[in-house]
Amino acid sequence: MSDQKRTALVTGGNRGLGEAIAQALLDAGHEVIITHTPGNRKAADWVKGLAAQGIHLSAYGVDVSVYESVQELARKIHADGRQIDILVNNAGITRDATLRKLDKANWDLVLRTNLDSMFNVTKPFVEAMMERGWGRIINISSINGSKGQFGQTNYSAAKAGVHGFTMALAQEVARKGVTVNTVAPGYLATEMVAAVPEETLQRIVSGIPVGRLGEPAEIAALVTFIASDAAAFMTGSKVSMNGGQHMQ
In a domain, 148, yes or no: yes
CA distance to 28, 57, 153, 184, per residue, from 160 (Å):
29, 31, 10, 10
Segment holding 99, helix H or strand E: none
58-61 vs 86-89, strand pairing mode: unpaired
Active-site residue flag, 187: no
The residue-averaged pLDDT of 143-152 equals 94
Mean pLDDT estimate for the chain: 94
The residue-averaged pLDDT of 204-223 equals 97
In a domain, 42, yes or no: yes
Domain span holding position 227: 7-189+216-232
Q: Higher model confidence: residue 131 or residue 45?
A: 131
Q: Higher model confidence: residue 53 or residue 239?
A: 239
The residue-averaged pLDDT of 48-57 equals 84
In a domain, 31, yes or no: yes
Of 60, 67, 155, 187, the active-site residue reads 155
Q: Higher model confidence: residue 111 or residue 41?
A: 111
In a domain, 102, yes or no: yes
Q: What CATH number does the domain containing 95 carry?
A: 3.40.50.720
pLDDT(2) > 60: no
86-89 vs 238-241, strand pairing mode: unpaired
CA angle, 43 as apex, 39 and 44 as ends, to 5°?
Answer: 75
In a domain, 201, yes or no: no
The residue-averaged pLDDT of 206-224 equals 97
- Flag the least confident range among 43-47, 145-149, 219-223, 241-245: 43-47
Q: Higher model confidence: residue 198 or residue 3?
A: 198
In a domain, 237, yes or no: no
Number of domains in the chain: 1
The residue-averaged pLDDT of 109-122 equals 98
| pLDDT over 70, % of the chain | 99
Give me the pLDDT at residue 52, please. Answer: 86
In a domain, 16, yes or no: yes
- β-sheet bridge partners, residue 27: none
Please tell me the distance from the alpha carbon of residue 227 to that of residue 222, in angstroms, as a whole number. Answer: 9
> Quick one: which of 184, 141, 146 has its CA closest to 159?
141
pLDDT bin (cut points 50, 70, 90) of residue 46 is confident
pLDDT bin (cut points 50, 70, 90) of residue 91 is very high
Segment holding 239, helix H or strand E: strand 238-241
| Helix ranges, the chain (H) | 16-27, 41-52, 67-79, 104-111, 117-132, 144-147, 153-173, 191-194, 198-206, 216-226
pLDDT(1) > 70: no
In a domain, 121, yes or no: yes
pTM recorded for the entire structure: 0.94
